[in-house]
Amino acid sequence: MTGSKFEFIQGNIACAKGAAYAGCSFFGGYPITPSTEIAEYMSEYLPKNGGKFIQMEDEIASLGSIIGAALTGAKTMTSTSGPGFSLMQELIGYACIAEVPVVIVDIMRGGPSTGLPTSPAQSDLLQAKWGTHGDHPTIALVPSSVEEMFTETVRAFNLAEYFRTPVLVLGDEIIGHMREKIRIPDPGEIQIINRTVPDNSGICPLPYASDSGKPACIPNFGKSRFHVTGLNHDITGFPTMDPAIVARENERILAKIYEQREIVDKWEEIECKDADILMLSVGSAARAAEEAVKTLRNKGIKAGLFRPLTLWPFPKDTFVKYAERAKYIIVPEMNLGQLKTVAERFTKRSKIIPVNLVNGEPISPEHIISVTNYLNI
């Protein structure tokens, strides 16, 4: 690909460039290691390109500001880490029920609490799905390279705009801070999706109406007048406590995503088809797992890696297909067994071998391989 742009940049910067590529025009954030570089980049890029950046007084305000901005039609984003992600939980639920497209980047670090601010961890994998109260849809993407910080952020915006829901990008301190050479896609190379809005003006009587399964076609503020609330509401957008409507609407905001899995699912398979040892891993841990698979294959051991890029909703059908075949399922992750609980739901526990590390250091291929020494393959 002659003439295309190559850059040697940090994962956080690639993420911000991906957002810019996707058309992000509003960033509201709050400084927190290890994701601050994203805000720093946006604080210069956006005003120079007709966009808006604001550093709010805390992470709750950051998410509040980008939901507000999104309601005016802007593509909006915030970025944080574990502690800030915890503060944002209530409003993540708000964006789900009000069906507002926003992108939330969480560069994970050692937890709990202040934990290890400058060290990597995959501490928020389950929080990403269960962090806020109530049944709500979750789309969480997990990049494992600087290039994927770019492309997965673009995908996050596309999914948010299409499904009209918040989309999470779960990086970690390694992916966020390391530098790699990446090719910047040419403008137009990746298709950019924009939300569909009704073209009527004046009063929009049924902003939350949607034909079965499809996301609602909600206007932007200023185009036509309607009501947005975090209370359960019907298709008019106004609060309701009618049990039938509440149940239907609560199910709809999940169904709009889970009934169109072909749009949201994405994973990578490395030699899974004949794998006796199947590895399930995401993000930076998956880099070590991939290396371990190569080493084991060289030693004649049939190993494979199943790496979801869309962690939530979890691509269970494909995973189960390989997991049932495999003798063992190794789950390397920088926490004490979060992804493992997902594997346990879909395969026999006896086959699952967790490889956990919570000391702030990255998991190494050798560490993963050492576990296989005791397996009779």
Partner 1 sequence: MFDYSKYLRASKLPHIWCPGCGHGIVMKSILRAIDKTGWEKDDIVVVSGIGCASRLPGYVDFNTLHTAHGRALAFATGIKLAKPKMHVIVVSGDGDALAIGGNHFIHACRRNIDITTIVFNNGIYGMTGGQYSPTTPDGDRSSTSPLGNMEPEFDVVKIAEGAGATFTARGTSYHVPQLDNYIHKALMHKGFSVVDVIEACYTTHGRVNKKKYPSNIDMLKFQKDNAIPIEKAKKLSEKELEGKIITGIFCEKERTEFTEKYQKIIDSFSGGEK
Q: Nearest distance from residue 222's CB to partner 1, in Å?
A: 6
Looking at 5-13, 68-76, 333-341, 358-366, which segment touches partner 1 (CB under 8 A)? 68-76
Q: Is 131 in the site for partner 1 (CB under 8 A)?
A: no
**Of the candidate residues 3, 50, 134, 300, the single one contacting partner 1 (CB under 8 A):** 50
Show the tokens assigned to 39: 């805000």
Q: Is 245 in the site for partner 1 (CB under 8 A)?
A: no
Show the tokens assigned to 152: 């997965």
Q: Is 223 in the site for partner 1 (CB under 8 A)?
A: yes
Q: Is 64 in the site for partner 1 (CB under 8 A)?
A: yes
**Of the candidate residues 6, 31, 72, 186, the single one contacting partner 1 (CB under 8 A):** 72
CB within 8 Å of 191: residues ≥ 6 apart: 158
Q: Is 186 in the site for partner 1 (CB under 8 A)?
A: no
Q: Is 52 in the site for partner 1 (CB under 8 A)?
A: yes
Comparison of 229 and 370: residue with beta carbon closer to partner 1: 229
142-156 per-residue burial string, b: 16 or more CB within 10 A, e: under 16:
bbbbbbbbbbbbbbb
CB within 8 Å of 145: residues ≥ 6 apart: 11, 175, 180, 182, 287
Cα R_g (the chain), whole angstroms: 21
Distance CA 198, CA 126 (A): 36
Q: Nearest distance from residue 73's CB to partner 1, in Å?
A: 8
Alpha carbon 138 to its chain centroid, in Å, reads 8
Looking at 64-72, 262-270, 314-322, 367-375, which segment touches partner 1 (CB under 8 A)? 64-72
Residue matched to tokens 């009527």: 200
Q: Is 205 in the site for partner 1 (CB under 8 A)?
A: no
Q: At what angle do helices 89-97 and 59-71 cross, to 10 degrees?
A: 20
**Of the candidate residues 74, 142, 216, 286, the single one contacting partner 1 (CB under 8 A):** 74
Query: Nearest-5° angle of CA 33, CA 37, CA 38?
Result: 110
**Of the candidate residues 1, 57, 133, 199, the single one contacting partner 1 (CB under 8 A):** 57
Distance CA 234, CA 5 (A): 48
Comparison of 33 and 224: residue with beta carbon closer to partner 1: 224
Q: Is 224 in the site for partner 1 (CB under 8 A)?
A: yes
Q: Nearest distance from residue 164's CB to partner 1, in Å?
A: 16
Distance CA 82, CA 101 (A): 21
For the beta carbon of residue 366, count every other beta carbon within 10 angstroms.
11
Q: Nearest distance from residue 160's CB to partner 1, in Å?
A: 15
Which amino acid does the sequence have at 33?
A: T
Q: Is 13 in the site for partner 1 (CB under 8 A)?
A: no
Rule CB under 8 A: which of 81-110 touch partner 1?
90-91, 94
Show the tokens assigned to 169: 């990008």
Which chain residues interact with partner 1 by CB under 8 A?
A: 25-26, 28, 47-50, 52, 54, 56-58, 60-74, 76, 90-91, 94, 201-203, 221-231, 238-239
